[in-house]
């Protein structure tokens, strides 16, 4: 857990970018999962299923 004070939206943006730059892949994947689940809940279970669109989240193809 990290904390601090952002005195402007610019400082908040910088802190957010720094947080996600240093976040583990597990934390990033969990955040994507949580965002999809929340979007599905807000749209209702009878709405369209959530999509895991790689272009939206900047996920690249895995290549061997």
Return the higher-pLDDT residue of 4 and 61: 4
pLDDT at 52: 61
Q: Domain ranges in the chain?
A: 9-57
∠ CA 3-27-24, rounded to 5°: 85
Q: What is the pLDDT of residues 41-59, one digit of tens each?
A: 877 767 666 666 555 555 5
Q: What is the pLDDT of residues 5-31, one digit of tens each?
A: 889 999 999 988 998 999 999 999 999
In whole angstroms, give the CA distance from residue 15 to residue 30: 19
pLDDT band at residue 2 under the 50/70/90 scheme: low
């Amino acid at each position: 857990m990290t904390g601090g004070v952002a005195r402007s939206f610019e400082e908040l943006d910088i802190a957010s970018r720094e947080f996600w730059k240093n976040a583990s892949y597990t934390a990033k994947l969990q955040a994507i999962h949580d965002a999809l689940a929340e979007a599905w809940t807000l749209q209702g279970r009878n709405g369209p299923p959530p999509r895991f669109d790689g272009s939206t989240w900047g996920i690249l193809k895995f290549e061997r």
